[in-house]
Structure 1
Amino acid sequence: MKFSYQFSNLLGTIYRKGNLLFSPDGNCVISPVGNRISIYDLKNNKASSLPVESRFNFTTIQLSPDGNMLLAVNEEGAAYIISMISRRVVHTYMFRRPIPYMCFSPDGKHFSIAKENNVFIYKTPGNLTGEYNPFVMERVYHGACDDTTCIDWTSDSRVIAVGSKDMTVRLYSLEKLANFKTYVLGSHSDCVVACYFENQSLDMITVARNGVVVLWECSIELDDLRPYDSSQKKKKFGPGDEDEDDIDTRHAEDPTETAKEIGNDGEDDDNDDAKNKDDQDPDKLYYKRLKKYYLFDEMSDKNKRQIVLTDAAYHKSLRVLVTGFSNGAFLIHEMPDVNLIHSLSISEQEITAVSLNNTGDWIALGCSGLGQLLVWEWQSETYVMKQQSHFNNISCLRYSPDGQHIVTGGDDGKVKLWNTSSGFCFVTFTEHTGSISAVEFSRNGKFVLSASFDGTVRAFDLARYRNFRTFTSPRPVQFVCLAIDCSSEFIAAGGQDVFEIYLWSMKIGRLVEILAGHEGPVVSIAFSPALMSTTLASVSWDKTLKVWNAVDTESTNETIQLSSDGLFVTFSPDGEEIAVACLDAHILFFDTKSSVQKGSIEGRNDLGSGRSDTDLISAKKSLQAKAFTCLCYSADGKCILAGGQSKNVCIYHVQESILIKKFEITQNRSFDAVDDFINRRKMTEFGNLALVEEREDAEGGNVAIRLPGVRKGDMASRAFKPEVRVYHLQFSPTGQAWAAATTEGILIYSLDANVVFEPFQLTLGVTPETVREKLSEEKWSEALMGSIKLNEPAIIQEIIEKIDVRNVELTVRSLPHAYMVRVLKYVATMLESSHHIEFYLTWIQSILTAHGPELCGSDTTIMPILLTLQKNITRKYEDLSKICDFNKYTIKFLLNLGKIKESNKLKDELMEIDDVINDENMS
């Protein structure tokens, strides 16, 4: 078994914080998700994550106009230039300060970055500028008196507008212009949230946090801006004279004095803006305020004073302005008349990000409080996409038997189903009133079970998406573990406050048995996966492992003493071995029949240490209290996957008891307990500065102190810094991937077949050229065996697809059994992405017909292949069934429409005949 697992996708977390982007074609939404970036393809209904990981959460992202370069900055000011073609980081740069806003010029040659009260202009590396060194700075502007908040470029990329917290908008030119000077626009009484130039014009729209929209009209057109001619100036003035246009804001010592000297004073009086208009040069640039509009007048909310405008987006061609507010509402206005054309409230939480696509039809809205991301088509008033994360941690997950779906349970009491192929959540169950502690799929994949702290175990039907069974105990119990037997007839759940195991019958929906005997909380239970077996294993904090015969009325059990408190128990795929994770970081293996210990693994040193900001002991000392809390066997049962109270996930070989590979699931320093040492620069005589929360007065007032001992989620703390850990993990039934429920979300790690060259019985004379020669000589079986020996997927696919469909059965029958397992594996994998569905189904039918009995009697490696085959065939069937149903109903509609037209035509002909007969009778 290969272990070249690499990160492939992030599920369960849709949006954290930061701005949202649309791709240039308008079909994809780019969202920052923690320290990763996810791309949601709305046209193909698929979500993917870039293989890029930052050391802190991303807060600002920006895409170049051609869509080839993504600029992302995290909360510590580290900027990443990411190629969207290769999906790799090209360069990094440290600004060492938060970057609230970035913007590319429309021509793509420059990008601007707002940092504190400054604006930096950089050249875009690439063919457009001829500059391939990243972050080559061209200009710096120091005009603002407070932090800058927004930037916008004119259509010709010569002038930029910069809004700031000092309630003004300043205009700068990238190059010297003869009839332009730095200009200051006032008229606002709160922080400027957004500023926009009109299309092919210098007219502007500015939006403030208090909901005020101001429209500005410029005295000159964009085409009237003339380049500066230094020879004319020297001719007009003397060599020692100076003009105000020569003032360079990069060297201004006092920004306030410079603004007064070279720009408008920003007064609100319209008469002052057009003062002495007739006496001014007609080519002179000045602005006039046309209209001032209060958006809160459109709202019916009584608490208008507490609402603030959080973000805005403007479509320059359609002249549509979208504004989001802190009460969860957003408004769409038509400019320049500021006519309200649409309003909607999506939640009670703050809207933190608003974005428009290139056509202006779709609006992307992000809500960081709920982890919600939705795309709204405002013209038809329909959702294009609506996805929401779990409000808090994801506590458990399970793969479906075919590996096509993942079910998750969270501390928010919700059960969600995710499609592993598309990455989207397609159903959410909200019947539970407490945190979800465990979830399970039935063996046939037709229903889902969930256990909760609310004292119920619920069954959800995946055909009708409803809760059709609810199991309860005679007295209230907080269920923390759940198991279902191989026949899906019996369901067991263990209690945390009552030390008993409850057994229900799925058919009759009643309690069958109560298994008592543990003296501590029952934290984990598991049924044996062996056929016709009802063996149940349970571990508890009383340092015992009990093996039960669940169907036996006498409730017989065998007790095995453990070295420490039991935390997790699982069976091997064949049901002959039991693995137990203990509190002392040991993994113990027992024989199911004889209850004899077969081996043990000590994984404390593999867990990895980490020191929290509130820890008073070192990371080395805190490592002694860490342990594995979840285990999972691989599909063949040879290896075991282990995770727990750290950022590391380990794969061990069961028989050899050695560590094979260790995965570090995150490098995100925005989480707690990631580093082994606390930054000494943050340590003072008063304590750790990382515990001090910096907030503005307008964002919430006093800061509450964090409650002691709280690790999952502290509602008393305004700044929540969760501790990194692995809550649950599982191998995919196909063996091609494994998933982990972590603080980040659901991380999917899958095998990349192109990374490792692993030939199979390769001899000296087997090369791609000789394989193709065999194929040209129509020696199909020899060519196929040669490609399998090379074990290159591209060559195998080429050989398989060039074999004529009439020769498939003969080729399959002539292959040895050792090659058939690999042929079936590649055919099952290629079916997922190929359009030749009937061709590959012919291969599958021929293989299973000719070698079916031999494959059934082979080793355990055939089962993941068959599950992969089932998953891909099911997915193809679902895709084709939708198309076929649509075509079938369309054809029926057309046939009925034709019949109606024929009947109408026949009626018209009969009426004409009647008219002729009546005319003849009258005559």
Structure 2
Amino acid sequence: MKFAYKFSNLLGTVYRKGNLIFSPDGYSVISPVGNRITIFDLKNNKSSTLPVESRFDYTSIDIAPNGSILIAVNEEGEASLISLISRRVIHKYRFKRRVRCIKFSPDGKHFAACKENNVFVFKAPGLLTGEFNPFVMERVFHGAFDETTYIDWSYDSKLLAVGSKDNSTRLYSLEKWANFKSYSLGSHTDSIVGCFFEKDSYDLSTISRNGQLCVWECSIDPDALTPWQPIAKKQKPQESESEDDIDFDKALEKTEKQKKKDKHVSNQSAADDAEDEEDTTDKESKVQKLFYKKLGRHYLGDEVRKQNSDAVLTSAAYHRDTKILVTGFSTGAFFIHEMPDVNMIHSLSISEQCISSIALNNTGDWIALGCSGLGQLLVWEWQSETYAMKQQGHSTNMSCLSYSPDGQYIVTGGDDGKVKLWNAATGFCTITFQEHSSAISDVLFSHNRKFVVSASLDGTVRAYDMTRYRNFRTLVSPRPVQFSCVALDASDEFLAAGGQDVFEIFLWSMKLGRLLEILAGHEGPVASLAFNPNLASSALASVSWDKTLKLWNAIESGSAHETIQLTADGLCVVYKPDGKEVAVATLDGQISFFDCKTAMQTSSIEGKNDLGSGRSDTDLVTAKKSLQGKAFTCLCYMADGSCILAGGQSKNVCIYNIQESVLLKKFEVTQNRSFDAVDDFINRRKMTEFGNVALVEDREENEGGKVSLRLPGVRKGDMASRSIKPEVRVYSLQFSPTGQSWAAATTEGLLIYSLDMGLVFDPFELEFGITPQTVKETLFKREHARALMMALKLNEKLLIQEVIENVPYRDIELTITSLPDVYVERVLKFVASELENTRHIHFYLIWINAILTRQGSKINSTVQMPVLLTLQKNMQRKYDELSKICDFNQYTIKYIQRLGEHKAAKEKAKSDGEETSEDELREDTLVEEMEVD
């Protein structure tokens, strides 16, 4: 139960690559985020990531018209059929090649997929088709000469338009029609990006990569399609004779008669065939054939090419109801046109990066835009010209993170020089600070939750105000230093930062912004710093690449320190929550623990083999050999100090028991083979006498044939040559102060793992005879304290909730007084967590008030600190939510009162016989209109 952490959400990455889609209700955007899928609920302002993970990055997704089934295909052609109700994978299918587009039919009975130059049509599982066997292939179309790029269904799901790289668009039908066969539309000079049917019509619009838009008109109405019926030919009459008792004379006579008869029959059949041909020609002349007429050609990319001659059209989307066409270009510009006249409504540029995907919601009001280069996702409301959502992750690696003291926010720093603040509950970024000019090396939240501190390689340490969201303090050293780490003391009065190129520690006063001390003594880069968490102590611990751990008391005695020799280069140091012990991660893969008073080593953990190895495509050594160079680079204690969380140069995160020095649980943060060094072995099919085939660049996918290999020795940033396969690593991790979750900053993004409370049965001091039935019987007898104790022993959430909510509010204090201290703490823990989602806010606040006033002095604040922080976080969240509503209602009530007073004064003036002016009459009519509204 204590380590039942499950993946709950992915923050810090909002879009990687692939196509965006809206949910059928139009309020949610579904975005492929690497090998995961995130749903952004714009109505409730919340994001959630599906607990589904693929082996490679997702590139094509689509949702069924009923909104219950999602199909996602990764870059290797592995398709997953996902239920959005259970949020689980129902079925998997391997296309074995890349799928560029996949689309459900509007009636939900079929879905089509583009693979190479083919189009595969499958039956969709569900109630509409009565077919629950997924991926049943119905038709395959082979008409294209090059790869197919886009699919669109007609409104009645009868026709299918398929765009291709051979500059043509082909139309297919699932059924046979008398007046339609497969049809091809040309007239383009570049590959097709999009093809779109009109509403209630077969009229078509096609758009190509060079910005050419062709509008096509269909010759027939949809109702004019006639089913094809095979014509049954008349059978020739045949006589059947038995082979027995044959008379040869009669046979000779019969053969002569048969010849004459056959001649007559042949003449008759020829006449019948001629009549049938005449009938069919008459029928075909009556049936109007389907063909297309080009109404016009428009050039949408001319305005963009005036600024950039290399600009190409990369994505397009069309809304049938409102006839709105949205096109995106490689320069970051997008146009909104009204069809079929192609009148421009808007032209806007969101960035200088390529727009990878565009989607429109069901009403056509919101436009979702995805930029893979920046990892940016925008939802633009084009009529009001406002952003419904604007989210962007770190454009490069996320290097560090820190929780707020109440666990409500997470602050992250990246190699792009940005500091971002994320709401842990909603998953959205609330503010971004861009004052740093180089990579962020470390970030910290202050203990009073009022400011955030960040250290950077640009030689500055900056402090940001969390109330006004501004940089209010910039701390620098006497000479330029690249700061690699930062630490705050428990009182938030002193700040220390360690140098990477200058082997010194700088100590500042946060209030004065003045440099107090320069601590010298290390002979290598300072890798990590940590202040003692106790308010009574001002000790500072530091580790360096010079294989030493130093304990400083800089505030009281200046540069005096105690040196502890380590077995290898120090990489990370953290204090135990009680401040009596420090843990140090070293380069040889060990975690060592030292007593702060005696400076003696108490225990150590050999964790190199638990890290797990991974062989990169460029590695010339085996994974077993490269494991010798692996080490933990980040550590974090649990709230009670009994276990430690460790991560580093691998995809694994480990939890160790400190006292026993054993591995308790290992978490694999990703299975994404689109990253490097995930597998321990390189597939032998990729190994040749010239090296790894995976290193051969696919120039067709990269504009201009840019090299996508990593330069030797480069480990961070863009690898100096636009590497597209970064190594999977855990850069930073931390437990939430509430103890209910922990976060890891990885190559994948910011991963949140939370306790899954509902799936584990974990009773507490359970006794014989305690069952849900006996608990309910005791509650019925109005023995509230006893029923609550029995429910707490069973430790089932719904049962505890039922008992607590059935206690009368007048008996809450008596019930709390009757409980032992152990059960009071468990009640406080349950009430604190339940306050997050409950509607009975006042009722639970009465419980909290009774517990803290009656039994507050008996609660062990050190042990129960995570519970108290959870309580603080949820109460603060409820306060923030309710304060907005109350303020709005308060101002609305005041406005209504003023209108009432104004109207009463007018009526009184009328009754007194005073003449009303035109302005007063106008005000009266305005008041009456407001009342009607």
Shorter-chain TM-score category? Answer: over 0.9
SS of corresponding position for 2:472: strand
Quote how far apart the aligned CAs of 1:802 are: 1.2
- 1:247-285 deviation digits (Å, cap 9, x = unpaired): xxxxxxxxxxxxxxxxxxxxxxxxxxxxxxxx9766111
In 1, the alpha carbon distance for the partners of 2:139 and 2:404 equals 56
Superposed displacement of residue 788, structure 1 = 0.3
In structure 1, what is the Cα distance between the partners aligned to 2:567 and 2:205? 70
Q: Per the alignment, do residues 167 and 808 of structure 1 end up closer, same or farther by CA in structure 2, a change over 3 Å counting? A: same
Matched to 1:95, the amino acid is F
Q: Which residue of 1 aligns with 2:350?
A: 346
Which has the larger displacement, 902-911 or 59-68? 902-911
Indicate conservation of the 8 Å contact 1:155/1:201, yes or no: yes
Q: Deviations over 1:12-46 (max 9, x none)?
A: 01100000010000011000000000010000010
The answer to whether 1:305 aligns with 2:320 is: no
**What is the SS of the residue equivalent to 1:710?**
coil
Moved more, 319-328 or 409-418: 319-328
Partner of 1:283: 288
Secondary structure of 1:146 counterpart: coil
1:888-912 deviations in whole A, cap 9, x for unaligned?
Answer: 1222222333344445556666775
How far did 1:755 drift?
1.9
- Residue 17 of structure 1 is matched in structure 2 by 17
1:541 pairs with 2:549: no
Counterparts of 1:590-739 in structure 2, within 5 Å, are 590-696=594-700, 699-701=703-705, 703=707, 705-714=709-718, 716-739=720-743
Distance 1:239 1:623, change over 3 A: farther
Q: C-alpha separation between the residues in 1 aligned to 2:234 and 2:357?
A: 50
Deviation of the 1:565 alpha carbon: 0.7
Matches of 1:716 and 1:494, distance apart in 2:
27
Q: Which of these residues, 888, 896, 899, is aligned with residue 894 of structure 1?
A: 896
Tell me the CA shift for residue 148 of structure 1: 0.4
Q: Following TM superposition, by how much is the alpha carbon of 1:688 offset from its aligned partner in structure 2, in angstroms?
A: 0.6
Q: Would the aligned equivalents of 1:713 and 1:722 in 2 still touch at CA under 8 Å?
A: no
Contact persistence 2:736–2:742 (CA under 8 A): yes
Report matched runs for 1:271-420 at 5 Å: 283-297=288-302, 299=303, 302-420=306-424
Question: For 2:784, which of 777, 780, 787 is the aligned residue?
Answer: 780
Tell me if structure 2 keeps the 8 A contact 1:410–1:435.
yes
Q: Distance in 1 between matches of 2:718 and 2:71?
A: 33
Q: After TM superposition, give the deviation of residue 740 of structure 1 in Å.
A: 0.4
In structure 1, what residue type is equivalent to 2:450?
K
Q: TM-score, normalised by structure 2?
A: 0.92
Q: Secondary structure at the match of 2:139?
A: strand
Q: Which residue of 1 aligns with 2:886?
A: 884
- The worse-fitting range, judged by mean Cα deviation, of 530-539 and 299-308 is 299-308
CA gap 1:594/1:890 in 2 versus in 1, 3 angstroms: same
Do the aligned partners of 2:301 and 2:312 also contact (CA within 8 Å) in 1? Answer: no
Contact 1:761–1:789 (CA under 8 A) maintained in structure 2: yes
Distance 1:777 1:177, change over 3 A: same
TM alignment of 1:435-446, pairs within 5 A: 435-446=439-450
Shift of 1:615: 0.5
C-alpha change, 1:698 and 1:806, in structure 2 (3 Å) is closer
Aligned to 1:94: 94
Following the alignment from structure 2 to structure 1, what is the Cα–Cα distance between the partners of residues 408 and 848?
20
The one-letter code matched in structure 1 to 2:684 is: R
Letter in 1 for 2:865: M
Shift of 1:542: 0.6
1:823 aligns with 2:834: no
Q: Distance in 2 between matches of 1:817 and 1:850?
A: 11
Structure 2 residue matching 1:706: 3-state secondary structure: coil
> Deviation of residue 552 (structure 1)?
2.1
Matches of residues 189-588 of structure 1 in structure 2 within 5 Å? 189-231=189-231, 283-297=288-302, 299=303, 302-588=306-592
Q: Distance in 2 between matches of 1:211 and 1:805?
A: 69
The alignment partner of 1:444 has SS state of coil
Q: Are the structure 2 counterparts of residues 752 and 705 from structure 1 closer, same or farther at C-alpha, using a change threshold of 3 Å? A: closer
Q: 1:395 to 1:237 in 2, by over 3 A?
A: farther
2: CA distance between counterparts of 1:572 and 1:239?
100
Q: Are 1:27 and 2:27 an aligned pair? A: yes
Identity of aligned residues (%): 66
CA distance in 1: counterparts of 2:846 and 2:234, whole angstroms: 84
Report SS of the residue matched to 2:738. coil
For 2:314 and 2:907, the matched residues in 1 are separated by 61
- The superposition leaves residues 700-745 of structure 1 with CA deviations (integer Å, 9 ceiling, x where unpaired) of 1353653111122335434421001100000000000000000000
In the TM superposition, 1:757-776 aligns within 5 A as: 757-776=761-780
The change in CA–CA distance for 1:634 and 1:698 in structure 2 (over 3 A counts) is closer
- State the one-letter code of the partner of 1:93: Y
The AA in structure 2 aligned to 1:293 is H
Give the aligned partner of residue 59 of structure 1.
59
1:199-242 residue CA offsets vs partner (Å, 9 max, x unmatched): 1111111111111111111110011111111246889999999x
Structure 1 gap segments, 5+ residues each: 245-278, 916-923
Structure 1 position 554, deviation (Å): 3.6
In 2: Cα distance, 1:742 partner to 1:37 partner: 17
Is the partner of 1:703 in helix, strand or coil? coil
Q: Residues 288 and 908 (structure 1 numbering): CA distance in 2 closer, same or farther, change over 3 Å? A: farther
Instruction: Decide whether aligned partners of structure 1 residues 240 and 80 sit closer, same or farther in structure 2, where only a CA change above 3 A counts.
Output: farther
How far 1:500 moved relative to its partner? 0.5
Give per-residue Cα distances to partners, 1:273-322, cap 9 Å, x unaligned. xxxxxx9766111111111111124x365235311111111111111111
| Residue 833 (1) aligns with residue 858 (2) | no
Residue 848 of structure 2 is aligned to residue 844 of structure 1: yes
Kindly provide the amino acid, as one letter, of the partner of residue 817 in structure 1: D
What letter matches 1:757 in structure 2?
Answer: F
Provide the rounded CA distance (Å) in 2 between the counterparts of 1:166 and 1:806.
78
Equivalent AA in structure 1 for residue 71 of structure 2? L
Q: Which residue of 2 aligns with 1:256?
A: none
- Going from structure 1 to structure 2, the CA distance change for 1:554 and 1:141 (only over 3 Å counts) comes to closer
Which residue is 1:792 aligned to?
796
Structure 2 unaligned regions, length at least 5: 236-268, 278-283, 918-933
C-alpha distance in structure 1 between counterparts of 2:371 and 2:724, whole Å: 16
2:77 matches 1:73: no
Q: Work out the CA distance in 1 between the residues paired with 2:40 and 2:675.
A: 25
Instruction: Please say if 1:865 is aligned against 2:882.
Output: no
Alignment partners' CA distance in 1, 2:852 and 2:859: 8
Deviation at 1:619, TM superposition (A): 0.4
- Matched residues in 2 for 1:735 and 1:30: separation? 30
Query: Does 64-73 or 685-694 show the bigger shift?
Result: 685-694
Residues 178 and 816 of structure 1, relative CA distance in 2, 3 Å threshold: same
Q: Which amino acid aligns with 2:820?
A: P
Q: Residues 410-459 of structure 1, C-alpha deviation per residue, up to 9 Å, x if partnerless?
A: 00000000000000000000000110000011111110000000000000
Q: 1:188 to 1:233 in 2, by over 3 A?
A: farther
Answer whether contact 2:517 2:558 (CA < 8 A) is retained: no
How far does the alpha carbon of each residue in 1:802-837 deviate from its partner, in whole angstroms, 9 at most, with x for none? 111111111111011111111100000100010110
Q: Which segment drifts farther, 890-899 or 673-682?
A: 890-899
CA distance in 2, matches of 1:397, 1:384: 27
Partner of 1:853: 857
Q: In structure 2, how many angstroms separate the alpha carbons of the residues matched to 1:422 and 1:152?
A: 34
- On the 8 A contact 1:30/1:38 being kept in 2, the answer is yes
CA contact (8 A) 2:120 2:137 kept: yes
Cα distance in 1 between the residues matched to 2:695 and 2:297:
43
**Aligned length, in residue pairs:** 877
Two-structure CA RMSD over aligned residues (Å): 2.0
Give yes or no for contact 2:112–2:120 (8 Å, CA) kept in 1. yes
AA matched with 1:875 = R
Contact 2:585–2:634 (8 Å) recurs in 1: yes
Q: Which moved more, 1:611-620 or 1:150-159?
A: 150-159
SS at match of 1:306: coil
Q: Deviations over 1:589-613 (max 9, x none)?
A: 0011111110000001100011011
